[in-house]
Each structure stands twice: as structure tokens, then as C-alpha cells.
A and B are shown apart, each in its own frame.
Chain A
């Protein structure tokens, strides 16, 4: 009998050994799909296993929002939910490939805006579809506590500039701000958002007395501004030049010097111009689909590419000469903040906060004045060549 007991104990142990194995595999399953229709938006909620990732794509003709979930599996082969409200016609789910579930929202508005976010407790994917974005800039311009500072508002004893000549509008964009400090100095903790604002204000001060120039800042205090909003402001003001001012940083202490960037060319392949031409409508028009709008913006920017290149080289040269800094040259790359600009646009990196000696220099007012002077000389040389 004792043997029997031992055997049973052994067997149950064996069972316990196997049970965890059968449970170890995590099934990334897509659960309940629900939606709420509101007057100004529609929210779709999809239950997912924690750890599920996603990729979003906007599609047109007909307007759809495509979200691929991974890793994920669907219990049934496919699923379709009829919504039929102002924003969403239907929600379709299917197993796109092994481990990838495709979610398609058929939209009723071609210019709808969407936001997709993962949320926990319970773990789910939230998709919100709204109407076209409001004109943020128009709203800003109307507001009294606008972040845009007109040149006349700077404390000045000088008479206001005469405006009989063509007005040349320059938008200066002090990088980062508010919750986003940017790079932080390694020896004294100097924040990029502080240096960029100080230098931008100095550039504005130096340009203030120039006839025919009007200067605006995208922010005048330590506040957070999204990258989209910065260029939106410049576009709405019909600016002739957009200059984003930043301080650099690297992984080691050695990197130093000044560097200027302009945006790289966006290529959509052949046919992009055709798409844009087919939409042949003014840019502000609400009937232009978002995807086409993006292409149009990029094509406009491509048109300003050689001017941005010129501006970048002019400012870089003057900046190196005035500050006697190391010349890191001019490069083009895909900068988020320059992408939406419908004018020559550059991003200036005035020095390295990761380099202790440059950080110390950037703390000094007279050095910041030198940098501002370099930028101003570059701006003036560039626009004088244009007048």
C-alpha cells in the first residue's frame, strides 16, 4: 500500500510539472470591441492583452483608418461592427497574418482627425475620431495672452519701424520649453530651453530697429509648445523666414561647435505631384484629405529647399565668424519642426551643452549676444540679397 501511495504522489507531482508548461504560453488575444458615439467624436475601444503594440495608417478613397495590432490573434476569422454615426461607418477586424490583427475603421469624413492610444486597467486600445482640427493659429491670434510677441511689444524707446516698404516677416522659434527642457548641461545643469529663449529674444532685440523687418517669437516665456504649432504660427503669419534656435548635445564631452540644418527632400515617388495637382484646391480648404494635405505641404517645402539651403549656409558662415566657434557645417535631415513650414526654414544649433567649456560660455550673456549677432548678420545678408 505504501508503494501505491508513493506512486500516486509521484504521478501527481508529474502532473504539477506539466501543468505550468501548458499555461506558460501567453495568448495575445483581441477581446471585446465597443464604441461610443458623441456629437463631436466617436470613441472605439478594443480590449487587448497587455504588451500588444500597434501601427497606424491613414488611407483615402474611401477614407479609412488602418491599425495593425501585434502580437495579436483574433478568436474568430473576422468581425464587422456597424456604427453608422457622423464619423465612423463601420469597424472591421481580421487576422491579417500570423500574429497581426488588422483593424479598419471606415470613416464618414474624408478630413477627420484621429488619435490612437493604448490604455491600461483594463488594457485596451482607444481610437478617437473627430472632425477636422480647428484653426489653432487663428485662435491663438485672437487670444490676448498669445504666445506670439509682436516686435512692437518689446520695450523700446526707438520709434516704430516705418512700413512703407515691403515688410519682411521673420519667425524665431526658441527650441523646447515648459515640460520639455531639451538638452541639459553636464557641469552646471544649464537647460536648453533657457538658452534658446535668451538667444531668440536677443536676436529679436537686434532686429527690432531694422526697417522693413517684423519679428515674431513662437514663445516668449517658459512654456510648452508642440512642434506642429510652431510652424503653424509661422504659416499663419505668412512669414518669409522661419528660424528655430536650439542648443546641441552628444554622448561624450568632446563634441563642440555650431551646426545648421535644413529639411531634407521628401520623396513620394512619381505620382505625388499628380495627387497634389488633382486636389488642386487652396491649402486652407477643408475638403482636401489629410494625406494629400501632407504631400502638398511637403511639395511646397521642397520648393523652398534651395532657399533654405542658402539661408542655412549664410547663417552658418556668419555665426562661425562672429563667435569663432568650430564649424560643423550645414546638413539636411528630416526635422519635424521644419516639415510644415511654407517658407525658407532652418534650425540652428548654437553650441554643445554636453561640452563643459561650451556650456560655461553659453551661460555668459556676452557670448549669447555674440551668437545672436551672428544669426542677425546671416539673416540680414540673406534677405538683403532677396530685396
Chain B
């Protein structure tokens, strides 16, 4: 009997140590994780207060070149993004880089190898920061360059009327031109003189 008791006591003590070690480990883990958990908590709180940005689908007008590459012509396309201006701008630029649908006679205005680095908005101006491929993969020529610049500006401002200007940046820096012709040092507004009413020719 006392033997058995001793045994059960030993067992109890062992399980006590066991629980204590677990509690200690959890306490330490908690200490380690507390900054992370606190931040996560803040995020969740923010998320609860501000409803999540819902992805919505809308139809936008993208400006591509007509086959003679002397004017722009709009083509409608669906984009899915949050309602934030920067998120919509990124979606519009992504589709512009994808180019016109193959069934149309329209011609792309940006090399498919081009990527957007960042988009930010300030004082009604959308700053679009491209990787240098926009310059390096450009075929050159005034006509091609003029249409590249205004396909970007027109596609953004026409679909995001809360903004009025676009400045193109290359690798985080302002640039003089894309290929030696059109001045892009300052923000540009929409140019409707370059938009054709019919896609023919």
C-alpha cells in the first residue's frame, strides 16, 4: 500500500513538473511572440473597423494604336481590382501591357516585357513608376513614342476621372523622354487630339 502510494505520489509530481514545463514554455513562447501578436491584433482591429477592400469588376476603356500607328482608339476591357485608385491604375496598366485583343486590328503601344514598379497618387496626379524595359524595349520614333505616352495617360485619366494628370517615372526617377522625343519631365494631362473616332485606317 505505501509502495503504491509512493508510486502515485511520484506520478503526480512527475505530471506536475510536466505541466510546469509546458506552462513555462508557453510563457516563453508568448514573450517571444507578443510583439507579433500585438501587431496582428492591431491589424485585426483595423480590419474589423475598416471593411475589407472588396475586389470589384468594372469595364474600362484602354487606348491602343490603330494599325497605321498614327492615332489611338479605345477598346473596352474588364478589370478586377479594389476600389482604390492605385489598385485600379495597376489593373488598367496590366491590361494595357497585355495589348489589344488579337481579333481587333489595333496595335499594342507598350512592349509585353514592360512591368510596372509602383503606382502612387498625390495631388490629383498619378505617378507611374516603370522598370527600364519601357525605355529599353521601345522601338523609338516620334509616332511610336507619342502613342506610348498618351495610351498610358489617356487610359488612366479616362477611367479614373478623380485624377487629372499622369507622370511617368523610370526606375524610381523622373525621365526626360522615353526614346528622345516626347517631354515627360512634368505630369501630362489627357490628349484627345490623338484619339480617332473610327478604328479604320
A residues near B (Cβ < 8 Å) are 3-4, 7-8, 11, 14-15, 18, 21-22, 51-56, 68, 70-71, 97, 99-100, 117-118, 175-176, 180, 182-184, 192, 227, 246-252, 254-257, 259, 261, 328-329, 331-337, 339, 347, 349, 352-354
Is the interface on chain B under 10, 10 to 19, 20 to 34, or 35 or more residues?
Answer: 35 or more
Given the known A-B contacts A182-B180, A250-B107, A251-B65, are A55 and B141 also in contact in the complex, defined by CB atoms under 8 Å?
no
Cβ distance B17 to chain A, nearest Cβ, rounded Å: 9
Across the interface, B142 reaches (CB within 8 A) one of A53, A180, A227, A347, namely A347
Across the interface, A349 reaches (CB within 8 A) one of B29, B108, B143, B174, namely B143
- B158 CB within 8 Å of chain A: no
Q: Which residues of A contact B67 (CB under 8 A)?
A: 252, 254-255
Beta-carbon contact of B36 and A18 below 8 Å? yes
A21 vs B40: C-alpha distance when bound (angstroms) = 11
A28 vs B135: C-alpha distance when bound (angstroms) = 26
Number of A-B contacts (CB under 8 A): 145
- B190 CB within 8 Å of chain A: no
Beta-carbon contact of A100 and B68 below 8 Å? no
Nearest first, the 9 closest Cβ-Cβ pairs linking A and B are A53-B172, A249-B141, A183-B140, A255-B69, A250-B69, A248-B141, A336-B183, A249-B139, A249-B140
A352 vs B183: C-alpha distance when bound (angstroms) = 21
Cβ distance A332 to chain B, nearest Cβ, rounded Å: 8
B residues near A (Cβ < 8 Å) are 18, 21-22, 25-26, 29, 32-33, 35-36, 65, 67-70, 107-109, 117-118, 120, 122, 127, 129, 139-144, 146, 167, 169, 172-174, 176-177, 179-183, 185, 188, 191, 193-194
Beta-carbon contact of B107 and A336 below 8 Å? no
Cβ distance B42 to chain A, nearest Cβ, rounded Å: 13
Beta-carbon contact of A15 and B29 below 8 Å? yes
Q: Which residues of A contact B107 (CB under 8 A)?
A: 250-252, 254
Beta-carbon contact of B127 and A250 below 8 Å? no
Beta-carbon contact of A336 and B182 below 8 Å? yes
A180 vs B32: C-alpha distance when bound (angstroms) = 57
Beta-carbon contact of A184 and B140 below 8 Å? yes
Given the known A-B contacts A18-B33, A335-B182, are A227 and B122 also in contact in the complex, defined by CB atoms under 8 Å?
no
Beta-carbon contact of B22 and A7 below 8 Å? yes
Across the interface, A11 reaches (CB within 8 A) one of B25, B36, B181, namely B25
